Structure formats: structure tokens, C-alpha cells
Structure 1
Amino acid sequence: MSAGGEHLKDEVRLALKDPADSDIEHSIQIITREKGTRRQVVLSGGIAGLVSRFCVAPLDVVKIRLQLQIHSLSDPASHHDVVGPIYKGTLSTMRTIIKQEGITGLWKGNIPAELMYVCYGALQFTAYRTTTQILAQLDPHRLPPALESFVSGAVAGGLATASTYPLDLLRTRFAAQGTERIYTSLLASVRDIARSEGPAGFFRGCSAAVGQIVPYMGLFFATYESLRPVLSGLENMPFGSGDAAAGVIASVLAKSGVFPLDLVRKRLQVQGPTRTLYVHRNIPEYRGVFSTIAMIVRTQGVRGLYRGLTVSLIKAAPASAITMWTYERSLKLLRDFRVAE
């Protein structure tokens, strides 16, 4: 969020309490002026998603490969007959992918992912801004600032996730491909899934995604809005960016709490007629969120729900920092040069 946080909310609250300026339209105009026009917000969100996605794509591929791996690394007997690679950590997985698939293997699924991140970023920030404006109309029954941020973040995350989910599924399936290609292109993958799985095939695991993203984004934005005003006033911050530091902390805390649902989502996304054709040929058949969780706990233990957590946290920190930093700077440049007003 730009020049927002508590300062903006206090300004809006004061405007609403002033008898001379108490109409709702005045408060909305204040928010719009401070945070930029709708087109500026959409464009800034899209730019932020595009830049962030490209930078962390290799870590994303590594995370997906680790999440889809079901055999135990501590028990050699569990993978003596496994067909395909065996990954044992972030750096080792990167080396294996580069050795077997080339450097471009680390960017598999990047095209649908870039499309998803651009659309997701634009939808997310637009929905967050719109929800914040709507909540401003509740005066004098305004929600507490932290709760406002939670509600706005949850609504924004849920809407953006559901709207862009087919691209998320395609990203996972491309990233899970090994040297043998299941899908030859983005258009071919859309055609194949539509023909063999129907429209529902594009939304496998969507309930886990929404169940994950709503609390994640709510907690993320609530923490970010609380930390940003404090950290922005501190000196000697990395790159002089308090909002980037706030994004890192908020992302790590939120990501850890909902990670099992992220893993379940990935396992469900590769279900269907191509389940045994990915780089991991032994992916079990899963049918629903709760049954998947129960099956993973029963066969792999609770730790099985957290496979790939380390690289996920490593990815989350720079991804969120880059996203928030790029969004703030892009919006500032657009406003300074009066672009897309």
C-alpha cells in the first residue's frame, strides 16, 4: 500500500468526524488521491507481480518438486524402486534440475506463472483498495485498523486466487514436468485439459487454495500495515526500504501457518489422467482436501505436510519484499509523472 497505513486511515477518520466534511464521498476522494487512481493501482500491481515472479521462479520450481515428492529421504528403502529423480534439499534439487534438464528447467511453467502473477497482482491490489474504500463508509462504526486490514486482505486474496486459479494449475503442471513433456505449449495444455478433464479440471484443488490464501493474505496485510509505519521511520534499513522489510516479516509469519494447505493444493493440481506422467511417477491418487491431509499424515506423518517449507520461506521473503517494494515505487512513479490518471 502506498503512503497509506495508519496515517491515511487517521486522515480519513478525521475527515469523517469533521462536521463540515462528513460526507462519505469526501473520504473516498481522500483515499483515491493518496493511493492513486484505479488504473494506477492496477498497473502498479501488475508490474509488481511480473517482476517478483521472474526473480523467484527457480525457487518456485524447486518448491513444487519437493512438495510432490512422497518418499521418505531418511528411509532409503522407501525409494529404492522410485522411477525419476530424488531431491534432497534446495541447492541439491537446483543442481539436479540443471544437470538433467538444463538451466531453463528452473523456469518451467514461467509463462502461465507470469500471466497469473500479473493478473493476480492487479486484482489483489485493486480489490484491497476497493474493500478499504467500502469499509471507510462504515463510520462511525469503523472496524479497528488491524481488522480492516485483515478483512481487506482476505477479500482481495480470495477473489484474486479464484479468478486466476486455472493459470496457477497450469504453472504447477508445467513445473512438475521432467525431461518427458506432457504439455508442449500453453494453448495445447488448455486444449488437452479441457478435452480430457472438462472445465472442472482447471480448478482441481481450488478449495485448498482459497482456504489457504484468505487467512494468509488477511494475516499478511494486517501485519504489513502494522509494521510498515514503524519500520519506515527506522534508519539504516536495507535499501532504505521499511515497506520491503515489513513485507518480509509479514510473509514469513503468514506462510508458515498455512503451508499444509499449499502442499495439498499442489498434490491435487496434478491429479487426473496425467498423474503418473510427471517427474515423480508415484504420486498417489487424492480426492479432496481433508482426505488428502489424512492420507499424507497416515502415510508420511505430520512432517509430510511441510515438505518444501524451507524453500517456501526462502522464496516468500524476497517475493513479498520485491512485490511490495516494486508496487510502492511503481505507483509513486506513475503518480509523479501523472501516468494512467
Structure 2
Amino acid sequence: MGSSQESTFSSASTAAQVNALDLLPVYAKELIAGGAAGAFAKTAVAPLERVKILLQTRTEGFQSLGIVRSLRKLWQYEGIRGFYKGNGASVLRIVPYAALHYMTYEQYRCWILNNAPSVGTGPVVDLLAGSAAGGTAVLCTYPLDLARTKLAYQVSNVAQPGNSLGNSGHQPVYNGVKDVFKTVYKEGGARSLYRGIGPTLIGILPYAGLKFYIYEDLKSRVPEDYKRSVVLKLSCGALAGLFGQTLTYPLDVVRRQMQVQNKQPQNVNDTFRIRGTFQGLLLIIRCQGWRQLFAGLSLNYVKVVPSVAIGFTTYDMMKNLLGVPPRERAHPSAGNK
């Protein structure tokens, strides 16, 4: 009798847990799964992201180093923790960013389909919806990206604690995201939290749109029997990401240099100050050479593929755990992300 009651109680508890998950709308489950996937993928490639930022901002001692030598130098000066400096801000940013990006993508896509039938239902809709969603997500999370860049930019010398290699002691040492926000706000108010937002928006609008456009277009060319293949989806996503980032990467370099230029040596500020996106592109080409516009791009290629792979795998696992139905059945008009 007791055993029967325990079995009944256990079954009731399991049913309650299942019902609690079922109460969540599908988009909420997808946001949870996407946020977890984004955070895990970002953390996995954090060391490569740190090196990429150091190359983009021409931090002293890292300009001419390759990936392996840069990682060794970071290990020498800061140890294992140096690989993940700024990753906290990156994770804090990627969770709401991914949530907003995909949620608003679906909303914009539905709005376009319902209000602009002349656009059609093909990948062009994904181009427009993805661009708008990318801009929305950036506007809402940009201060966190600024904090991530500033934390990743400072490289402390172990032999001289508190000093930054790239700035000969001129740059203050930030102790975390909150400290960055306080310091930046004191320097120029709320507006300074959005320094570099111009090239970011100009870069994210075509990148986010192209990413969705290319991914959906490639996926539409896949034979029906292989449309559910995770490996094939991964390949389409990786190609879309690589192609989109190559076209918009110079704008990312301008953005990074704008974010950190006020913390560089005074003589550099006098002769090299980026005031706008296109002016920044021309200034970098004239003073640093056109190759600087693609500094760290090869490293970006190296980190994009594993990041996409890890993100897809984690996302699928989380969807299975949360009981998310296939998007084709849940939202027949929305298409796959």
C-alpha cells in the first residue's frame, strides 16, 4: 500500500513538473534555450575573442603576434583568468541579446508578411527582419558590449600589478562590469555608454540580415530528406556567419577602436581620433594601412565555426530538455532560425 502511494506521489510530482514546463509559451522556451546556448558558446571561445580584440585595438605587444603566441603571452602575464577577462560582460550581454534578437526577428518577420505582401515570403523577408532585429538587440545591449571591450582591452603586467601594457599606466584598471559603467558614466554621462554605436549599427544591420538571408536561402536548397540534419544546419549557419562577418568586419574594427581610443596615450589621441564611421575607415587606412581593417579576421574565422557548432548543439539539447516542438509545426509561417 505504501509503495503504491509513493508511486502515485512520484507520478504526480513528475506530471506537475511537466505541466509547469507546458505552461511556458514556446517562444519563452526558445529564449531560454537560445540564451543558454549563446552563453555556453561565448565562454567556449572566450580566449579567441580576447585575442581578437587585442589585435583589433592594436594593444602594445600584440600587434604582430599570431594566435598561439598571443595566447601564450596572455598566459604569461595574466594566467588562465586572462583568457576570460571581459567574458562576464560578454555573457551578460549575449543572453538578453540572443533573446531580443530572435524574439524580435519573429515579430518583425510576421509584421512584414502581414503588412508587406509585395515583399513575398522568400529569404528577402529574413534579410529585412534580421536586420531590424539586429539593430533592436544592439540598441538594448550596447553598454554591455562596451564594458566587455574595455575589460578585454586592458592587459595587466604581472610584474607590475595595475599597469596596462597598451597604455603605459595611463589606463585605469577596471574591476568589473559595474566599475566600467561607473567610470564611463563619470567621464561623459549616459552618452558615453554608447560610444561607437554608429559603426555598430551600420555593421549589424547588414550582418544580421545577411546571416538570416544566407542561412535560409542555403537551407531552402537542401533536399527534403536532409533538412533535419544538424550537421547540415550547422554547415549552413557557419557559411552564413563567415560570409556576413567578412563583409562587415571593417566596421567592427572601427567600433572597437572608437570604444578604447580615449584611453590610449595622449599623443595618439592628438593625431588619431575617430569621429565617425566612414571617417574612421579612411583614417585607419591612411594611418594604419588597409590590412588593419581586417586585423583578427582569420582569428574570427577560427572562433566562428566552433562557436556555431557549440551553439547549435547546446540549443538542440536545451530544446529537447524543455520539450520545445519543431518550429515547422509550432510556427508554420515563421520559418527556421
Show CA shifts across 1:8-53 (max 9, x none).
Answer: xxxxxxxxxxxxxxxxxxxxxxxxxxxx622123212211211111
**5+ residue gaps, structure 1:** 1-35, 71-82
- For residues 282 and 304 of structure 1, the distance between their equivalents in structure 2, rounded to whole angstroms, comes to 20
The alpha carbon displacement at 1:233 in A equals: 4.0
Show CA shifts across 1:304-323 (max 9, x none).
Answer: 21111100111222223333
- For residues 283 and 176 of structure 1, the distance between their equivalents in structure 2, rounded to whole angstroms, comes to 21
C-alpha contact (below 8 Å) 2:57/2:256 kept by paired residues:
yes
C-alpha contact (below 8 Å) 2:55/2:62 kept by paired residues:
no
Show the counterpart of 2:40: 51
Show the counterpart of 2:132: 155
C-alpha contact (below 8 Å) 1:248/1:317 kept by paired residues:
yes
- For residues 58 and 298 of structure 1, the distance between their equivalents in structure 2, rounded to whole angstroms, comes to 30
Which residue of the other structure, out of 199, 207, 210, is the alignment partner of 1:216?
A: 207
Show the counterpart of 1:69: 58
Which residue of the other structure, out of 249, 255, 261, is the alignment partner of 1:259?
A: 249
CA separation of 1:250 and 1:233: change in aligned 2, threshold 3 A: farther
- For residues 184 and 84 of structure 1, the distance between their equivalents in structure 2, rounded to whole angstroms, comes to 22
Show CA shifts across 1:86-115 (max 9, x none).
Answer: 541111111111112212111110111110
CA separation of 1:309 and 1:232: change in aligned 2, threshold 3 A: farther
C-alpha contact (below 8 Å) 1:69/1:283 kept by paired residues:
no
| CA RMSD between the two structures | 2.8
- For residues 257 and 90 of structure 1, the distance between their equivalents in structure 2, rounded to whole angstroms, comes to 22
Show the counterpart of 1:73: none
- For residues 325 and 228 of structure 1, the distance between their equivalents in structure 2, rounded to whole angstroms, comes to 18
CA separation of 1:123 and 1:257: change in aligned 2, threshold 3 A: same
The alpha carbon displacement at 1:122 in A equals: 0.6
**5+ residue gaps, structure 2:** 1-24, 157-162, 164-171, 331-337
Question: Which secondary structure state, in structure 1, belongs to the residue aligned with residue 261 of structure 2?
Answer: coil
- For residues 294 and 327 of structure 1, the distance between their equivalents in structure 2, rounded to whole angstroms, comes to 40
Show the counterpart of 2:123: 146
- Which amino acid in the other structure matches residue 94 of structure 2? Y
Show the counterpart of 1:207: 198
Show CA shifts across 1:247-271 (max 9, x none).
Answer: 1111111110011001001000113
- For residues 282 and 321 of structure 1, the distance between their equivalents in structure 2, rounded to whole angstroms, comes to 44
- Which amino acid in the other structure matches residue 315 of structure 1? K
How do 1:93-112 residues align onto structure 2 when only pairs under 5 Å count?
A: 93-112=70-89
How do 1:128-147 residues align onto structure 2 when only pairs under 5 Å count?
A: 128-138=105-115, 141-147=118-124
Tell me, yes or no, if structure 1 residue 300 matches structure 2 residue 300.
no
Deviates more, 1:318-327 or 1:40-49: 318-327
Show CA shifts across 1:39-95 (max 9, x none).
Answer: 12321221121111111111100100011117xxxxxxxxxxxx6455411111111
Question: Which secondary structure state, in structure 1, belongs to the residue aligned with residue 315 of structure 2?
Answer: helix
Tell me, yes or no, if structure 1 residue 318 matches structure 2 residue 309.
no
CA separation of 1:69 and 1:281: change in aligned 2, threshold 3 A: farther
- For residues 272 and 193 of structure 2, the distance between their equivalents in structure 1, rounded to whole angstroms, comes to 19
Show CA shifts across 1:156-178 (max 9, x none).
Answer: 11111111100001100000111
* Number of equivalenced pairs: 286
Q: Which has the larger radius of gyration?
A: 2
TM-score w.r.t. the length of structure 2 is: 0.77
